[in-house]
Amino acid sequence: MSSNIGPEAQAAYQKYLDATTLEEKIKKLEEFLSVVPKHKATEKIVALNRSRLARLKREQEDKKIRAKTTAKLVSPFSIKKEGIQLILISDYHSPGVGKTSLLNLLTGAAKEKIGRFTPIPEIGIYEYKKIRFQIVDMPSIMDGASAGIGNGKEIISQLRACDLICFCIDLSRDFQSQMALLLKELSQSNVRINIPPPPITIEKTGSNKIQVFYLTNEAKKNIDLEPLSDKIREIIHEGGIRNAIVKVFGEINLNQVVDAMNPSVVYKKVIIFGTKGDLALTKDSFKNLKKEFNIKFPLIIGTSVLKGEFPENFGDIILKFLNKIKIYTMHQGIKAEKPLILDDDPNLPTVKDVALKIHRSFYDTFDYATIIREGSRQKRKKVGLDYEMKDNDIIELHTK
């Protein structure tokens, strides 16, 4: 720095150079600019440092914006998933339907929060046969949640990512209105319930047409294939896609074609808990709830936290509902306490799936496996990679 700026500005500039944080640098540079004499000889120095100050301030702005976005990422509504995640939801009503009570019964968490409004999610871990289920007690779903009312967007975005949604329905109140509200808000949020994704894929291509192929016998059973193809083409064209290969793998309807085009549609498994089963008239209410909703909801469970009524084998019920099975590995004759969890849908997992799940190297160096299956005719079996696994199988992998 040239000496014609005088000792005061010189000292101020030194303070700027010594500053370590961005905030400090900005402050010291501002001080320097306020004391530096402004004349022809210092013109360039002043301009340079003003430009430097502007850059530092931009950096500070960027940092603030970044901090804001990070703060959003750690919002109390975003939950770090652990194990198999179940989310409890209900409509908004006072007194509540008993979500926090259920969370407490299952996990011991949040006892002092029963009977109070739950403003942010409460979380607990339910452990069953060494398998961890994360239970999330969500704030109630308000009318208009799908449009963002009552943190609806945050709540629903968590629902979209969970393993199982649990509708909690207060059996001592009219169940129709509770079901109607939850079904409406989820439907409007493009969450489809207890149905598989449609058997159709749409791949954009370079060719200038939309081609439709029916790839399975099931798919060929769709009525009037030619008119159906025309309608599919029309829907896809309307959706803004001009060139595509459409593959159909099963029976479909046109709503499913629309859904397949919409990336925001998700397919979720949902169960229902009927709560407060100890109160008057709830037996009838539970019966009617089942009668009306059993087709769409194959799993409806009656509960009473007051009487401690809750299925003892809840973990197994849930695994079955989610099409998951438990496989126990064995090493040198000792069975692992904690099972591996594998999907048995659309196919039973094989020895290969198990090997890959443990570690790729078990697959690469695989020699054979020993399966122990209780209750089967041949209890212990030597098998290869293609062998299909069943729930509770014990497996010992042997490598070369």
Ligand X SMILES: Nc1nc2c(ncn2[C@@H]2O[C@H](COP(=O)(O)OP(=O)(O)O)[C@@H](O)[C@H]2O)c(=O)[nH]1
List residues binding ligand X (CB under 6 A).
90, 95-101, 114-115, 118, 275-276, 278-279, 304-306
Q: Bridge-partner residues for 245, per DSSP?
A: 203, 211
Residue of this chain nearest to ligand X (CB atom): 96
> Nearer to ligand X by C-beta: 167 or 297?
167
Q: Which residues contact 208 (CB under 8 A, 6 or more apart)?
A: 242, 243
Cα–Cα separations (whole angstroms), residue 375 to 68, 71, 341, 390, 394: 58, 54, 21, 12, 12
Q: Which is nearer to Mg ion, 136 or 369 (CB)?
A: 136
- Smallest distance, ligand X to C-beta of residue 317, A: 19
Q: Which option in Mg ion, ligand X, none does residue 275 bind, with CB closer than 5 to 8 A by kind?
A: ligand X
Evaluate whether 274 touches 300 at the Cβ level (below 8 Å).
Answer: yes
Cβ neighbours, 10 Å, residue 163: 17
In what side-by-side order are the strands of the sheet with 164-170?
A: 122-128, 131-137, 84-89, 164-170, 270-275, 300-302
Report if residue 100 touches Mg ion, rule: CB under 5 A. yes
Binding-site partner at residue 282 among Mg ion, ligand X, none, CB < 5 to 8 Å by type: none
Smallest distance from ligand X to CB 139, Å: 9
Q: Which of residues 101-130 bind Mg ion (CB under 5 A)?
A: 118
Minimum distance of ligand X from residue 289's CB (angstroms): 15
Q: Minimum distance between the CB of residue 172 and ligand X, rounded to whole angstroms?
A: 7
Q: Check residue 90 for interaction with Mg ion (CB under 5 A).
A: no
Closest CA to 126 of 88, 78, 171: 88
Q: Least separation, in Å, of the C-beta of 100 and Mg ion? A: 3
How many residues contact Mg ion, by CB under 5 A?
Answer: 2
Provide the angle, in degrees to the nearest 10, between the axes of the packed helices 152-161 and 175-188. 80
Provide the token pair at 309. Answer: 């009524």
The kind and range of the H/E element at 100 are helix 99-107
For Mg ion, which is the closer residue by CB, 37 or 119?
A: 119
Query: Which is closer to ligand X, CB of 289 or CB of 389?
Result: 289
- 93-101, 268-276, 291-299, 384-392 -> range binding Mg ion (CB under 5 A): 93-101
Amino acid at 21: T
Which one of Mg ion, ligand X, none interacts with residue 95, CB within 5 to 8 A by kind?
ligand X
Q: Site residues (CB under 5 A) for Mg ion?
A: 100, 118
